[in-house]
Each structure stands twice: as C-alpha cells, then as structure tokens.
Amino acid sequence: MLEDLKKQVLEANLELPKRNLVIYTWGNVSAIDRKTGLVVIKPSGVPYEDLKLEDFPVLDLEGNKIEGKLNPSSDTLTHLELYKAFPGIGGIVHTHSPWCTIWAQAGKPIPVLGTTHADYFYGEIPVTRKLTAQEIVNEYEKNTGNVIVETFKNLDPNNVPGVLVSGHGPFNWGENAHQAVENAVIMETVARMAYYTQTLSREANPLDSHLLDKHFLRKHGANAYYGQNTKEQK
C-alpha cells in the first residue's frame, strides 16, 4: 500500500540525521497521497537507522490507522491539521533543529535579513502565539496544528514554507517529503545567519522589499529564471 510514498518518506526521514537536523529520534517526516487522502508518517520513537518500509503507519486524515503495527509519531495530529488546512502541500517535517529552535524558544519571528532568506521565504518566518493552558492540557498536538493554521490566516503557506512553534521548534512543508526537508535545511541555515547578524549588529534592518521580490521571484513563479527550466525544478 502506497509503497512509493513510503519509500519517499523513509528516504526523507533518513535525510534528517544526515543533514544534522536531529539527534536520537528528534524529528519526523510525513507525506500525503492527495488522491486517497492517506498519510504515511514515521513511527514514534524508532531510531532512524532501524527504520524499515513496512514500519511506516498509514493513516487517514482523521487519524485512523489504515495500515501498520507501530504507533505513529506523537506529533501526527499536528501533521494532519496542516494537511487539512493547506491543500497545496504534500510533505511535512518537524524537528528540534537547534537554530530554528532557539528562535522558537525566544518567541521571535525570523526577519528577512538577506537574499538567502528571500530566495526561499517570501517574508519573515512567523512564530505562533503561545498555546493556552486549556489548549495544552486537551488535544495538545491537534491544537499545535491549529495554532499554526491560525498564524497563516493572512499568509500563503506555499510562499512561506515553514513556521516556528513558540517554545517548541520548527515545522516545514513542501510539495513532497523531500521538498519539506530541503526547506527545513534552508530554514535552519537562515535561522543561524539571522542569529549572527542580529548579535553582530542590533540595528540590522530587514531587506528592502524590492530585493525581497527580486530574489523570491527570480526563483519562484511564472517569470522565474533561475535554474535550467522556465519554472525552477523544485
């Protein structure tokens, strides 16, 4: 069942330790098959080096397990809320990658300080509000998804493919699982450079809006001219 998707999700999960986004079992990748509405996600607490194709649970969007013996990631309900709210995305990744996590812990959005950011994120990377006590005690993981969706009520998740959950860490997404992980790697790099830029100079200003447009749009959208295709081969 969904063998190709499972293979993609397995490979994308293995990318996490390889790219230094996780230690131990601190991250999970999922992907959705939009035709059937079924989601494949990493099983909970299994070390990356032990993952096998048949270990990956398959769930529907309500969280019912359709296939698989193992428990899905404890963050599954967050993933499902995002798939329901953001129809353009095909893969999601959550980690505690250190540079994004420190911005999440500080409760601060990552400002657009340079063209590296602008090449991939069309505006600042937002941070969610804090969850209320009630939202933490009941349905915590689902509410984490809801607060991300709330954060994007005036934002296009296809133009800003990531978010910081306050006090917690990053979530990223993309057209598929691989693209989600690539966005996570890039957001980590952007977060790191933003930290050093701001501690070097507290007066560092956000990028000029024309430069933001130029860099984002030369890589994305109808008039993109980066790469070997008219539209960048993401």
Q: Which of 7, 65, 84, 130 binds its own copies (CB under 8 A)?
A: 130
- Give whichever of 36 and 116 is closer to its own copies, judged by the CB atom: 116
Q: CA dist 232 to 187, 223, 228, Å?
A: 19, 10, 7
- Give whichever of 84 and 192 is closer to its own copies, judged by the CB atom: 192
Clarify whether 226 is annotated catalytic.
yes
Residue in 48, 55, 119, 195 annotated catalytic: 119
* HEC per residue, the chain: CCHHHHHHHHHHHHHHHHCCCCCCCCEEEEEEECCCCEEEECECCCCHHHCCHHHCCEECCCCCEEECCCCECCCHHHHHHHHHHCCCCCEEEEECCHHHHHHHHHCCCECCCCHHHHCCCCCCECECCCCCHHHHHCCHHHHHHHHHHHHCCCCCCCCCCEEEECCCEEEEEECCHHHHHHHHHHHHHHHHHHHHHHHHCCCCCCCCHHHHHHHHHHHCCCCCCCCCCCCCCC
Q: Which stretch binds its own copies (CB under 8 A): 28-36, 81-89, 134-142, 146-154?
A: 134-142
Q: Tell me if 40 sits within 8 A of 58, measured CB to CB.
A: yes
Binding to its own copies, residues 46-105 (CB under 8 A): 46, 70-71, 74, 96, 98-99, 101-105
- Min dist CB 51 to its own copies, Å, is 13
- Min dist CB 121 to its own copies, Å, is 14
Q: Does 131 bind its own copies (CB under 8 A)?
A: yes
- Give whichever of 33 and 55 is closer to its own copies, judged by the CB atom: 55
Q: Does 115 bind its own copies (CB under 8 A)?
A: yes
Q: Does 233 bind its own copies (CB under 8 A)?
A: yes
Clarify whether 33 is annotated catalytic.
no
- Give whichever of 24 and 60 is closer to its own copies, judged by the CB atom: 24
The residues carrying an active-site annotation are 119, 226
Residues at the contact surface with its own copies, assessed by CB under 8 A = 23-24, 26, 43-46, 70-71, 74, 96, 98-99, 101-108, 113-116, 130-131, 133, 136-137, 140, 167-169, 182, 185-186, 189, 192-201, 204-205, 207-208, 210-211, 214, 218, 225-228, 232-233
